[in-house]
């Protein structure tokens, strides 16, 4: 290109004495323009090709992630069918069905060393024949091991009270265990904050803090704030009066908007377990997780008595355990969160999905409302004498015995219901 420019300048500075010189100069101009155009076209073609390749890679990565989601939905369906069919026969050993949904999966599968040579060759042959050249990894998590923030708007007064107390317990535990949080929020009024959360989901317009709920949102131009309806996502909590980012981060680890009317102790993480009671120290929580994950040490807890007996052996005062009164469950899991990541050609796409079991949660909620109504009547003295006369000599009522038994799950009627789908 430099030589071409010098040649053109030389022609411009040299007197043209014939038509041949003019033709030479024009030819050089044309060659320079064509060279520039060719370079520009090549560059733009390369850019467009890269964009097309990236688009194809994104598409392949997306469908790889979606394949992981679909496979996970099928695993959840199989789990629920197996639990509905064999859960009662398995009794205390029903947790042996958990691997159907619990273990993480990826494609192509990573083969452990203990896999036999025959199995390994068959799997490798299947991978080789597969037309999927993208990769994906997928995990399924329990959503029922968290506290449902929408229970603050439940029809059951007992459920609302228990959930409210549980949130206050979370803040109390955080103040006791986190010095930095305590420095900032030691004098913060958490009761007002929880009341504002209740105002967000309850049906009336009168604030529990005092006055009209709308008065606490002067900067909002919408007449539907607060909406007096359940939270759609956790991020909606940011809009609640007096909520801060640090407080949200504390809550986000332990709450959900897709709960199952109680906390499933066998699937709760350490943060939720610690929030059950101030006595749940890191050491006690570690022992609980170790016990439920180790079949040789007892495995998952069978019922509340089994759980409390274990806590008693760890020095926990069970007579005052769970002051919030949050319902504890030990049955099969109902709701799940699926996270899938697909990858192709250096491009990564992710999909997150939540499934919700309306049928079985409805049955569980009916049981909670029925129990609350019975306790209300007994508290008023309507059945006090009758209950006393029917109490067996060993101090255990028939109702207590029935509460220890796992209720049979309703068999799924089709594909798991997806209530949340997020793509990234």
pLDDT tens figures, 18-61: 667 777 777 777 777 777 777 777 777 777 777 776 788 899 99
Q: Using the predicted structure, report yes or no on whether residue 343 has a pLDDT greater than 60.
A: yes
Please state, in angstroms and rounded to a whole number, the distance separating the CA atoms of residues 202 and 208: 10
Q: Using the predicted structure, report yes or no on whether residue 13 has a pLDDT greater than 60.
A: no
- What's the whole-number mean pLDDT along residues 89-100? 83
More confident residue, 324 or 152: 152
Determine the pLDDT at residue 412: 81
Domain boundaries, the chain: 147-332
Alpha helices, H only, 303-357 = 304-313
Determine the pLDDT at residue 1: 58
The residue count of the chain comes to 424
Determine the pLDDT at residue 9: 54
Phi and psi (nearest 5°) for 272?
-70, -40
Hey, is 40 helix, strand or coil? helix
Q: Using the predicted structure, report yes or no on whether residue 307 has a pLDDT greater than 60.
A: yes
Q: Using the predicted structure, report yes or no on whether residue 322 has a pLDDT greater than 90.
A: no
Q: Using the predicted structure, report yes or no on whether residue 269 has a pLDDT greater than 90.
A: no
For residues 31 and 4, the answer to whether their CB atoms sit within 8 Å is yes
The number of angstroms, rounded, from the C-alpha of 366 to the middle of its chain's C-alpha atoms is 25
Determine the pLDDT at residue 5: 57
Please state, in angstroms and rounded to a whole number, the distance separating the CA atoms of residues 134 and 122: 20
Which of 136-145, 320-329, 349-358, 359-368 has the lowest average pLDDT?
359-368
Determine the pLDDT at residue 313: 92
- What's the whole-number mean pLDDT along residues 335-357? 93
Nearest one of 230, 152, 227, 254 to 193, comparing CA atoms: 152
Q: Using the predicted structure, report yes or no on whether residue 392 has a pLDDT greater than 60.
A: no
Determine the pLDDT at residue 396: 44
Q: Using the predicted structure, report yes or no on whether residue 345 has a pLDDT greater than 80.
A: yes
Q: Using the predicted structure, report yes or no on whether residue 393 has a pLDDT greater than 50.
A: no
Task: Assign domain 147-332 to its CATH superfamily.
Answer: EpsJ-like (1.10.40.60)
More confident residue, 356 or 381: 356
Hey, is 350 helix, strand or coil? strand
Determine the pLDDT at residue 355: 94
Task: Using pLDDT thresholds of 50, 70 and 90, give the confidence band for residue 399.
Answer: very low
CB atoms within 10 A of CB 259: 23
Range among 33-37, 67-71, 143-147, 258-262 rated most confident: 67-71
- What's the whole-number mean pLDDT along residues 190-195? 94
Determine the pLDDT at residue 378: 67
Hey, is 269 helix, strand or coil? coil
Nearest one of 286, 284, 288 to 298, comparing CA atoms: 288
Please state, in angstroms and rounded to a whole number, the distance separating the CA atoms of residues 159 and 375: 13
Q: Using the predicted structure, report yes or no on whether residue 246 has a pLDDT greater than 70.
A: yes
- What's the whole-number mean pLDDT along residues 235-248? 94
Which of 101-105, 320-324, 401-405 has the lowest average pLDDT?
401-405
More confident residue, 199 or 27: 199
More confident residue, 250 or 92: 250
More confident residue, 108 or 381: 108
How high does pLDDT run on average in the chain?
A: 82
Which of 122-136, 149-163, 233-247 has the lowest average pLDDT?
122-136
- What's the whole-number mean pLDDT along residues 340-348? 92
The number of angstroms, rounded, from the C-alpha of 276 to the middle of its chain's C-alpha atoms is 20
- Output the CA angle 416-422-424, nearest 5 degrees: 140
**Helices and strands per DSSP (H, E), number in the chain:** 14, 9
Hey, is 295 helix, strand or coil? helix
CB atoms within 10 A of CB 315: 10
Please state, in angstroms and rounded to a whole number, the distance separating the CA atoms of residues 348 and 60: 10
For residues 269 and 335, the answer to whether their CB atoms sit within 8 Å is no
């Amino acid at each position: 290109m430099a030589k071409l420019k010098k040649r053109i300048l030389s022609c411009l500075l040299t007197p043209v004495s014939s038509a041949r010189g003019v033709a030479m100069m024009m030819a050089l101009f044309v060659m320079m323009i064509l060279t520039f155009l060719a370079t520009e076209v090549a560059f733009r073609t390369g850019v467009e090709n890269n964009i097309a390749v990236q688009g194809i890679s994104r598409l392949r990565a997306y469908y790889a992630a979606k394949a992981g989601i679909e496979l996970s939905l099928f695993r959840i369906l199989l789990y629920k069918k197996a639990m509905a069919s064999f859960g009662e026969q398995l009794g205390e050993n029903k947790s042996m069905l958990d691997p159907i949904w619990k273990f993480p999966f990826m494609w192509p599968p990573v083969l452990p060393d203990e896999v036999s040579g025959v199995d390994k060759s068959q799997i490798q042959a299947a991978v080789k024949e597969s037309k999927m050249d993208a990769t994906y990894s997928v995990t399924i998590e329990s959503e029922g091991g968290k506290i449902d923030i929408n229970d603050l708007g439940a029809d059951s007064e007992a459920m609302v009270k228990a959930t409210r107390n549980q949130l206050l317990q979370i803040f109390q535990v955080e103040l006791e265990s986190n010095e930095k949080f305590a420095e900032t929020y030691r004098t913060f009024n958490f009761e007002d904050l929880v009341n504002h959360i209740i105002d967000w989901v309850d049906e009336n317009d009168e604030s529990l803090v005092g006055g009209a709920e709308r008065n606490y949102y002067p900067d909002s131009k919408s007449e539907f704030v607060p909406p007096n309806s359940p939270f759609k996502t956790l991020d909606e909590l940011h809009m609640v009066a007096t909520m801060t980012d640090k407080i949200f981060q504390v809550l986000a680890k332990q709450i959900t908007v897709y709960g199952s009317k109680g906390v499933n102790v066998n699937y709760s993480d350490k943060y939720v377990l610690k929030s059950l009671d101030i006595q749940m120290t890191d050491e006690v929580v570690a022992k609980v997780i170790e016990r439920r994950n180790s079949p040789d040490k007892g495995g998952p807890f069978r019922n509340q008595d089994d759980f409390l007996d274990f806590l008693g052996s760890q020095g926990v005062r069970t007579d005052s355990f769970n002051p919030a009164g949050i319902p504890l469950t030990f049955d099969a899991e109902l709701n799940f969160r699926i996270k899938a990541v697909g990858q192709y050609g250096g491009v990564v796409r992710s999909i997150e999905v939540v499934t919700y079991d309306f049928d079985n949660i409805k049955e569980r909620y009916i049981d909670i409302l029925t129990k609350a109504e019975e306790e209300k009547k007994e508290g008023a003295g309507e059945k006090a004498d009758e209950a006393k006369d029917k109490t067996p000599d060993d101090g255990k009522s028939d109702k207590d015995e029935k509460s220890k038994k796992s209720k049979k799950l309703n068999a799924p009627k089709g594909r798991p219901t997806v209530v949340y789908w997020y793509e990234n």
